[in-house]
């Protein structure tokens, strides 16, 4: 019984340390503010691409993470790729643009 009483504080501390370590944030997580900012940027880029008369916006996917915009999908020409990248870069809040678009 005495041995058990000495072991209890050690186990309690180990459990608390494990609990607190599980609550620590990582760099890949985004806070609510960052998530909302990324959502706004995504919406602005999609709108800008939609308003570009030379682009078919339904075929271009837009995702944003921490201000980095990723464009994907299929386009008809290299000129369309360049136009989509240009339009995305002009949106306020965009840090960089990653191009994963492919030619049809």
pTM for the full predicted model: 0.67
Q: What domains are there in the chain, each with its CATH number? A: 28-103 (3.30.1340.30)
Residue 32: pLDDT above 70? no
Residue 26: pLDDT above 60? no
Predicted pLDDT at 93? 94
Average confidence score pLDDT of the chain: 84
Predicted pLDDT at 15? 73
Non-local CB neighbours of 48 within 8 Å, separated by 6+ positions: 87, 88, 90, 91
61 φ, ψ (degrees, to nearest 5) = -95, 140
């Amino acid at each position: 019984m005495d041995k058990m009483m000495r072991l209890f504080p050690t186990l309690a501390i180990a459990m608390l340390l494990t609990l607190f370590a599980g609550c620590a944030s990582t760099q890949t997580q985004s806070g609510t503010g960052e998530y909302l900012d990324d959502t706004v940027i995504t919406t602005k880029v999609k709108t800008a691409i939609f308003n570009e008369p030379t682009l078919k916006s339904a075929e271009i996917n837009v995702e944003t993470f921490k201000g980095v915009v990723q464009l994907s999908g299929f386009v008809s020409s290299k000129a369309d790729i360049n136009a989509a990248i240009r339009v995305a870069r002009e949106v306020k809040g965009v840090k960089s643009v990653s191009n994963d678009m492919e030619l049809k």
